[in-house]
Structure 1
Amino acid sequence: MKINKVLMILSINMLLLFPSMDGSIHASSVKLIPGGQSIGISLETNGVMIVGFHSVNETSIEDTPASKAGLEVGDTLKKINGVSVSTAADLSQVLSQQTKNNKTIQLEIERDEKVMKISVNPTFNEDGIPQLGLYVRHHTQGIGTVSYIDPQTGQFGALGHVVADAETKRAVNMRKGTVMQTHIDGIQKGISGKPGGKIAIFSTNDAILGSVSRNSQYGIFGKLQEIPAHELFKSPLTVAKQSEIQEGKAEMLTVLRDNTIEKFSIEIVRSKTQAPGGITGMLVRITDEKLIEKTGGIIQGMSGSPIIQNGKLVGAITHVLVHDPTSGYALTIEEMIKQSGHNTLQKQAS
């Protein structure tokens, strides 16, 4: 069994990957189960993402076939001569097949949501194997927190921000994704200038909890195979409208150890402000002394932790302020529903 012990590796860069969806949401008619569960997240790219270059026979990286052809770190390589590639193994196999009778091959890549075709002349290593001089990756893994679950369908929202590749900082253009059971094994405490993080243990053999269908600047969205029992809330909560959110006391749900959801005191400092990425959100501050002592404030891995105020589900943590880890930003659940792409939820809200 392969066990991964990871400090939260999901980048918090906010990049628009999916367009906003129009239509007003009457949040007060929607009832959702608050989240708080830690989850392992695995996203497979739609193609292979270029994360670096290496020389083959050349004296410099700039002279490699990929560099000379104009490929860039962050590009997603999708096809070679019209044949799809999904993994690094696919890339090697298809490249070998397509160079038997062709000195020049055509690559189909995606860059900044635009599809491009680029011609390249591969080189051959000392074993006669064709090479482009690329380092590629076809999946990204990390941890996060569930924000809400629809009790009727099992549809869920989590994170509150986009999943981006840790090296390229580009949003992951996903082919498919899964969420897995995970256990929090420890905490790296955050300090000013250095955000902390949850340390999680999860295995590729752990139970798959559900699938991910969308990765956007408003979070990841998908569907759970089963609706888990909530330790703190036996019934769904009404989703608060933006106008109902008040500045003042609130509570946040998150996991600090194993998979036990705990409740912590926070303050909504501003109920409506501009958050990273230019979206409308909230400014929040951790006031719970126990949480501050343990974590220093908001840490990586808390992204998606739901916020409860006056018995309603109001938002989810998204970012920490690097210079002040007790403070950060949150997104409203109302906005997450709008951007989820979950038609059943939107019908409930209309």
Structure 2
Amino acid sequence: MLFKKLSISLITVVSLVFPSFQVFAADVILGGQSIGIELDYEGVMITGTYDISIDNRPYNPASDGYQSGDLITQVNQQNVESISELMESVKNSVEKNQKIMLTLKRQNKTIKKELKFQKKDDQFTTGLYVQDGLTGIGTMTYYNPETHHFGALGHMMYDTSLSSDTTIKNGTVYNSYVKKINPSQNGNPGEKIAKIGSIEIGRLYENNNYGIYGQYTNLSDQLQTISTASMDEIELGEAYFLTVLNGHEVSRCSIRITDLKKQNEPDVKGITFEITDEEVLSLTNGIVQGMSGSPIIQNNKLIGCVTHVDINNVHQGYGLYIDWMLKNDK
């Protein structure tokens, strides 16, 4: 059986509409650090299928209705939450010559399916690719010292290769070390190449269209406290964002805000900006994946975070107002 675990760098977003509301300024601890995120499925996700041979005939689980995005929650009515538990349960059933019945979750439906397998030389294969979690690299936006909550990314973390609309709510955030930058090109955004560290920063409780949010447990005492600005305070013109481009060092990137949308409800493209920092451009050639969540500062106030790149002009990016992130800091 072949298993894989997906790793992604984050920059894309999906919009969702909430009622209008008023947000008040807050004092928060400024982010900018590179973070590694591990999200946990409530089971084991099927990410694809492949051909095997059963009774000397070709077989693919897709022919029995298995789909990418199906979540395996039980094997013969025993709960499974990880690849190791799935493998052990299937192995035990194979050794006992038992029929293997999987319980699948597909959107809001529960489905029962028999798992067929190929056995050869005491080894078995099932024709299923699976993963038990999702990992990615992004940037911390802020920490809230009053609630001990944090907000990051500015958009949902999800697997675009899967057809499932399953939203992963739980997970862990770690420190991250940026090893190199693959520069962006128009039509082909670049990315940070980073290693997820072993120092746990906190646990996630929310993963939605406006970022990931959680409770932090580990925080450096060298960080800066900053006030947030409402969208009415933000101006066109000079600003900067903070992000990591090498190792753990937080770098400052100068930008020019070119458009501001006055919003009565959340939207991800409230702030339009372009990078003007020649030193940063020489390294990244624009916005790269992994900058999601990079805090944007203007007039010594936190105004929002980087969310995604204009794929046709990678020097241009978009940001989410900090107002909407504070709304999600529940």
TM bin (shorter chain): 0.7 to 0.9
Letter of the structure 1 residue corresponding to residue 134 of structure 2: T
Alignment-derived partner of residue 223 in structure 1: 215
1:178 aligns with 2:172: yes
Alignment-derived partner of residue 106 in structure 2: 110
Pairs within 5 Å for 1:3-82: 9-15=8-14, 24-28=21-25, 30-58=26-54, 63-64=59-60, 66-82=61-77
The 2-side partners of 1:273 and 1:70 are apart by 47
Q: Could you tell me which of 88, 93, 100 is aligned with 2:88?
A: 93
Question: 1:321–1:142: structure 2 CA closer, same or farther, 3 Å change rule?
Answer: same
- How many residue pairs match? The answer is 320
Shift of 1:170: 5.9
CA contact (8 A) 1:36 1:147 kept: yes
Alignment-derived partner of residue 313 in structure 1: 302
Question: 1:249–1:60: structure 2 CA closer, same or farther, 3 Å change rule?
Answer: farther
Letter of the structure 2 residue corresponding to residue 219 of structure 1: G
Q: CA RMSD in A?
A: 2.9
Alignment-derived partner of residue 212 in structure 1: 204
Q: Could you tell me which of 213, 222, 236 is aligned with 2:226?
A: 236
Give secondary structure in 2 for the equivalent of 1:162: coil
CA contact (8 A) 2:177 2:248 kept: yes
Give secondary structure in 1 for the equivalent of 2:159: coil
Pairs within 5 Å for 1:328-347: 328-340=317-329, 342=330
Shift of 1:280: 4.9
TM-score, normalization by structure 1: 0.81
Greater per-residue strand proportion: 2
Give secondary structure in 1 for the equivalent of 2:290: coil
Give secondary structure in 1 for the equivalent of 2:324: helix
Shift of 1:211: 1.4
Alignment-derived partner of residue 83 in structure 1: 78
Shift of 1:150: 0.3
The 1-side partners of 2:254 and 2:274 are apart by 9
% identity of equivalent residues: 33
Shift of 1:279: 4.2
Q: Could you tell me which of 132, 144, 158 is aligned with 1:138?
A: 132
1:71-120 residue CA offsets vs partner (Å, 9 max, x unmatched): 21122222234322112222222234456575362422233xx2321322
Question: 1:132–1:175: structure 2 CA closer, same or farther, 3 Å change rule?
Answer: farther
Give secondary structure in 1 for the equivalent of 2:214: strand
1:97-148 residue CA offsets vs partner (Å, 9 max, x unmatched): 456575362422233xx23213225234224666542110112222110011
The 2-side partners of 1:327 and 1:280 are apart by 12
Give secondary structure in 1 for the equivalent of 2:315: strand
1:326 aligns with 2:315: yes
Letter of the structure 2 residue corresponding to residue 240 of structure 1: A
TM-score, normalization by structure 2: 0.85
Letter of the structure 2 residue corresponding to residue 72 of structure 1: Q
CA contact (8 A) 1:240 1:312 kept: yes
Which blocks of at least 5 consecutive residues in structure 2 are unaligned?
1-6
Worse-matched range after superposition: 261-270 or 302-311: 261-270
Shift of 1:182: 1.9
Give secondary structure in 1 for the equivalent of 2:63: helix
Shift of 1:228: 2.2
The 2-side partners of 1:89 and 1:26 are apart by 45
The 1-side partners of 2:44 and 2:262 are apart by 37
Letter of the structure 1 residue corresponding to residue 33 of structure 2: Q
Alignment-derived partner of residue 150 in structure 2: 156
The 2-side partners of 1:15 and 1:171 are apart by 12
Question: 1:161–1:71: structure 2 CA closer, same or farther, 3 Å change rule?
Answer: same
CA contact (8 A) 1:147 1:305 kept: yes
The 2-side partners of 1:170 and 1:143 are apart by 22
Alignment-derived partner of residue 283 in structure 2: 294
